[in-house]
Amino acid sequence: MESDAARWPRVALRSLFARLVTSERRQRLARGWRRIWRRAARRLTTVHYFHQADDPYSQLAASQLDEFCARYPLRLETHAVPPPDRAAAPQAEALRRWSQRDAARWAQHFKLAPPEPPRHPDELALAHCASPRALEAGAALRRRLGHYLGGMFYCEGEWYWGLDRLHYLESRLSTEMQREAAPSPLFLPPALQFAPTTPTAEAPTLDFFCSLRSPYTWLATPRVRALAKHYGATLRLRFVLPMVMRGLPVPLAKRLYILKDTKREALRLGLPFGDVADPVGLPTERGLALLHHAVHQGCGEEFLESFLCGVFAEGIDAGSRRGLERIAIRAGLSRANLHDALADHSWRAVADAHREDLLAAGLWGVPSFRVNGSPALWGQDRLWMIEQDLRALSAS
């Protein structure tokens, strides 16, 4: 293992960068300066909306634009954009299928018209009449402002994904209005209910596809553990290598958005985040070796949460000898067993098998979840759907 002294400068610089990106003080200062310039120019707040015609999330967002604009004093500019390029969405067909299924269930919950079913590309182009020049201009602006997806709202330096994150933008605009009775957000994330349950004859199985380099997995871990415990489910940790370590690209714009989005979600959920020591590479491999061992020792969940909290909230360098020991010991592993666990490489075959199961379920990213073989769900912000699946089992 590389010496702690040799690793420290590189890890420290990366941690400093993550703290700057996720800093609440930096955000307040940036918002303040932009507000000063806008008011000096006597302009309304400008919100840019990037619409991808074949994207179901864009279709849901577009259906609410009139209501959104009626609530706040703003200027909305809409831009047609093409699908993200391969670097940002390497599994384009799987993304299309998942988005359609997920958006339809989201719309059903919020009593919205479901998104249009997929159509032939030529038919779609005729229906939406976006010229190649308009799409190119929209894509160029989206790229210049720092994003890659459709269905996105941009306001003065910050991005908001579709109706899922629109409430953050609405909260910001409400603050700008400085009114006592600001409008409530159009859509708020459904809260977990932890409803009373009837014990079932056989405990349901909750598969949790997770990664040690995924900030969203950190946000999901404490809550999915709580859900499994409350509903009497057996939680199976299906760990996989991070996307970048599986040969899938993660562009800088995507990494920056994930950091910033995770920070605001962590604040909403009451979880710490921002003191990051990126475990990419050898720290993740060693972490997975220990996680595989911990699962067999009966403390896999504890190790997963300890590792993720350590690298995303406490700045613990999991690539250092001292950092990895700290993470492992507080999770219940003994120092005496660490050497043997790190020398065992059988975790690689297990991680590969988990990846194949994830792909077979129609997904490729984490955190993802599946209850008793039902359709898999992707995203820490979809745990309310997992709870619905668990409640449906207890009611049957």
**Do 99 and 164 have their domain in common?**
yes
H/E/C letters for each residue in the chain?
Answer: CCCHHHHHHHHHHHHHHHHHHCCHHHHHHHHHHHHHHHHHCCCCEEEEEEECCCCHHHHHHHCCHHHHHHHCCEEEEEEECCCCCCCCCCCHHHHHHHHHHHHHHHHHHCCCCCCCCCCCHHHHHHHHCCCHHHHHHHHHHHHHHCCCCCCEEEECCEEEEHHHHHHHHHHHHHHHHCCCCCCCCCCCCCCCCCCCCCCCCCCCEEEEEECCCCHHHHHHHHHHHHHHHHCCCEEEEEECCCHHHHCCCCCHHHHHHHHHHHHHHHHHHCCCCCCCCCCCCHHHHHHHHHHHHHHHHCCHHHHHHHHHHHHHHCCCCCCCHHHHHHHHHHCCCCHHHHHHHHHCCCHHHHHHHHHHHHHHCCCCCCCEEEECCCCCEECHHHHHHHHHHHHHHHHC
Domain boundary among 141, 160, 177: 177
**Do 125 and 250 have their domain in common?**
no
**Residue 195 maps to a domain:** no
**Do 157 and 231 have their domain in common?**
no
**Residue 165 maps to a domain:** yes
Q: Which domain holds residue 315?
A: 205-395
- Residue-wise pLDDT tens for the chain (396 aa)? 556 666 667 788 889 999 999 999 999 999 999 999 999 999 999 999 999 999 999 999 999 999 999 999 999 999 999 999 988 888 889 999 999 999 999 999 999 999 988 665 554 444 456 799 999 999 999 999 999 999 999 999 999 999 999 999 999 999 887 765 678 899 999 999 999 987 777 899 999 999 999 999 999 999 999 999 999 999 999 999 998 887 777 788 999 999 999 999 999 999 999 999 999 999 999 999 999 999 999 999 999 999 999 999 999 999 999 999 999 999 999 988 898 999 999 999 999 999 999 999 999 999 999 999 899 999 999 999 999 999 998 776
Q: What is residue 281's predicted lDDT score, i.e. its pLDDT? A: 92
**Residue 302 maps to a domain:** yes
**Residue 133 maps to a domain:** yes
Q: What is residue 377's predicted lDDT score, i.e. its pLDDT? A: 98
pTM of the model: 0.94
**Do 238 and 359 have their domain in common?**
yes
Q: What is residue 248's predicted lDDT score, i.e. its pLDDT? A: 74
**Do 239 and 380 have their domain in common?**
yes
**Do 152 and 223 have their domain in common?**
no
**Residue 5 maps to a domain:** no
Q: What is residue 123's predicted lDDT score, i.e. its pLDDT? A: 47
Q: What is residue 280's predicted lDDT score, i.e. its pLDDT? A: 92
Residue 83: which CATH number? Answer: 3.40.30.10
Q: What is residue 245's predicted lDDT score, i.e. its pLDDT? A: 81
**Do 235 and 101 have their domain in common?**
no
**Do 116 and 225 have their domain in common?**
no
Domain boundary among 177, 194, 226: 177
Domain boundary among 157, 177, 197: 177
**Do 211 and 290 have their domain in common?**
yes
Number of domains composing the chain: 2
**Do 390 and 248 have their domain in common?**
yes
d(CA 345, CA 285): 9
**Do 142 and 282 have their domain in common?**
no
d(CA 293, CA 181): 54
**Residue 246 maps to a domain:** yes
**Residue 199 maps to a domain:** no
d(CA 164, CA 180): 25
- Asked whether the beta carbons of 310 and 327 are under 8 A apart, the reply is yes
d(CA 380, CA 150): 20
**Residue 374 maps to a domain:** yes
**Do 90 and 217 have their domain in common?**
no
